[in-house]
Amino acid sequence: MNLELYIYRMWQNFTEKGLYKQVEILQMKEIQELRAQIDKADEKINQYLDKRYELVKEIKKIKKTSSLPVQDKGREDQILTKCSNEHSKEVFKEILKQSRIMQKKGL
């Protein structure tokens, strides 16, 4: 028996017995479990962002009364240096941008 025929028969056996569907179901279950973990991580991220923005509001008050500039490039660079990868760095750049926007409102 040649290899192509062998592979074809194995595939036929695999699909006829519903094994393909079982594998597909297991993969979907794994995806759902991973997504549940992502949902938990997202919830924590959201909580931390809420806390961060509350702290930014406090900094805004201090900067306003002290006439300090909104942007502190040194502080931003310090934060970005701590990022473990480029994706995290891009997310933090957006967080910092939103923090500046919050501080500029009402200054």
What is the 8-class DSSP label of residue 85? S
Q: What is the pLDDT of residue 79?
A: 97
d(C-alpha 61, C-alpha 28), whole Å: 49
pLDDT band at 1 (very low <50, low <70, confident <90, very high): low
Is 26 or 92 the better-scoring residue by pLDDT? Answer: 92
Distance of CA 97 to the CA centre of its chain: 17
Cβ atoms of 107 and 56 closer than 8 Å: no
Q: Is the pLDDT of residue 11 over 90?
A: no
Q: What is the pLDDT of residue 107?
A: 53
How confident is the model over 41-99, as pLDDT tens digits?
A: 999 999 999 999 999 999 999 999 999 999 999 999 999 999 999 999 999 999 999 99
3-state secondary structure string, 18-84? CHHHHHHHHHHHHHHHHHHHHHHHHHHHHHHHHHHHHHHHHHHHHHHHHCCCCCCHHHHHHHHHCCC
Q: What is the pLDDT of residue 16?
A: 67
Q: What is the pLDDT of residue 89?
A: 98
